Structure 1
Amino acid sequence: MQLHVLNHPLVDHKMTVLRDKNTPSNIFRELVSELVILEAYEATRNLDVVDREIETPIAPMVGKHLASPRPMVVPVLRAGLGMLDGMTKLLPTAEVGFLGMKRDESTLDIITYANRLPEDLTGRQCFLLDPMLATGGTLVAATHYLAERGAKDITAINIIAAPEGLKKLEEAIDPSIDFKVVVCAVDEKLNDQAYIVPGLGDAGDRLYGLID
């Protein structure tokens, strides 16, 4: 597993505002989008490209073009949807799939409740979007879900990670998968309710409000 933690003053500033409990949902959503754009720049550094002959207004040249098949962006519902806009701004030609996974708050088991993905992901570079990497269980399940369909390499883009979640990934992700993680921050720990400390609370609730 490769881990990349963004180190930039703009990221630090935006993260501070994002974490503040007094930041309203509209600002929270905008900050998530901005942070994902910065993360996506690093996450897409190794995208497959091919040569393409073009003519500029001055002369012919050989440039680079994204290879086929197109990258696949997969937000994990529901909080991952808040990251989709930022990702597709930087990578507008990507295809988008959806994966619904949630953690049972009593057992901490991962439940899959929705899937809108191609059956065959052979050779695809995939990007999993989920703001919080807490216990790591959802991300492990989602990664193996894509790999079973043939994804050749998978990058997780998270806003915040807990050390326990990163350890879980190291131990549980199949080593044959080319797996990378890009985060804005690695926090202190998980609390007894498996929330990241200091974290930012429930990302889904802060993006979209509480659901009774």
Structure 2
Amino acid sequence: MSQDFPNCTVVDHPLVKHKLTLMRRVETSTASFRALLQEISQLLAYEAMRDLKLRDETIQTPLATMEAPVLDGKKLVLVAILRAGQGILDGMLQLVPSARIGHIGMYRDPETLMAVEYYYKVPGQLTDRDVIVCDPMLATGNSAIAALSRIKNSKPGSLRFVCLLACPEGLANLREHHPDVHVYTAAIDERLNEHGYILPGLGDAGDRLFGTK
């Protein structure tokens, strides 16, 4: 299905598929769900960061001097859409612990399904920085669209979106509003239900991550 969405890369590694199946199971505990999300997030990050810029630096190995590649440019910025995006961010930080961090608080109006912002705190200077926005579920896409719009006001060098699950409706909506933002996900599920939840999905990611339901 990913070929139908040129703005999306499905990271279909066997480990990702296996861990996602474990997360989908209704009997999976909060602790296991949290650990699995962090593990999958590292695998998603690996793909989302594949084209980060490099430069050569002269280093000394135990045996010789050599020119070796290191990340170039300003530090990466990871932005979590609260609250569930924190679970993906925690996993990514294990790969890039020096990244700058931002948070955008969003909740979905239960009547309109539109995103309502209640918190915004990101690094002050995003110009020329690579920014990755994290949220487990790309459902209606409204929260992602609102968050990306806010970040674009700061003119980042590049902007990507990482999620655990996406659906056709959310991908189409995001592409309509932000055709320049590429999405990285573990799977594209079948559809949305009448309440704006992904089917078959895995339930409410925030509730399962934090044990609040």
Query: Residue 90 of structure 1 aligns to a residue in which SS?
Result: coil
Query: Residue 74 of structure 2 aligns to a residue in which SS?
Result: coil
1:56-115 deviation digits (Å, cap 9, x = unpaired): 111111111112210000111000111122101111121111111121111112111111
Residue of structure 1 in register with 2:95 after alignment: 90
Instruction: Tell me which of 166, 187, 190 is aligned to 1:185.
Output: 187
Distance 2:197 2:101 in 1: 28
Range moving further from structure 2, 148-157 or 191-200: 148-157
Residue of structure 2 in register with 1:54 after alignment: 59
Residue of structure 1 in register with 2:10 after alignment: 5
Instruction: Tell me which of 178, 202, 205 is aligned to 2:204.
Output: 202
Distance 2:186 2:83 in 1: 20
Residue of structure 2 in register with 1:17 after alignment: 22
Output the amino acid matched with 2:7. Answer: Q
Distance 2:107 2:67 in 1: 46
Query: Residue 186 of structure 2 aligns to a residue in which SS?
Result: strand
Structure 2 contact 100–123 (Cα < 8 Å) conserved = no
Q: CA deviation at 1:40?
A: 0.6
Structure 2 contact 7–175 (Cα < 8 Å) conserved = no
Structure 1 gap segments, 5+ residues each = none
Query: Residue 94 of structure 2 aligns to a residue in which SS?
Result: helix
Q: Taking structure 1 as the reference length, what is the TM-score of the superposition? A: 0.94
Query: Residue 159 of structure 1 aligns to a residue in which SS?
Result: strand
1:91-144 deviation digits (Å, cap 9, x = unpaired): 112111111112111111211111111233111100111000000111111111
1:39-64 deviation digits (Å, cap 9, x = unpaired): 01101001122221111111111111
Q: What RMSD, in angstroms, separates the aligned Cα atoms of the two structures?
A: 1.2
Distance 2:19 2:124 in 1: 37
- Equivalences for residues 169-180 of structure 1 within 5 A: 169-173=174-178, 175=179, 177=180, 179-180=181-182
Output the amino acid matched with 1:193. Answer: H
Q: Taking structure 2 as the reference length, what is the TM-score of the superposition? A: 0.94
Residue of structure 1 in register with 2:136 after alignment: 131
Structure 1's consecutive aligned runs of 4 or more residues displaced over 3 angstroms after TM superposition are none
Instruction: Tell me which of 36, 40, 43 is aligned to 2:48.
Output: 43
Q: CA deviation at 1:184?
A: 0.3
Distance 2:209 2:158 in 1: 29
Structure 2 contact 101–123 (Cα < 8 Å) conserved = no
Structure 2 gap segments, 5+ residues each = 1-5
Query: Residue 212 of structure 2 aligns to a residue in which SS?
Result: coil
Equivalenced residues, count: 208
Range moving further from structure 2, 20-29 or 50-59: 50-59
State percent identity of aligned pairs: 43
Distance 2:113 2:7 in 1: 25
Distance 2:150 2:125 in 1: 11
Distance 2:199 2:66 in 1: 52
Residue of structure 2 in register with 1:81 after alignment: 86
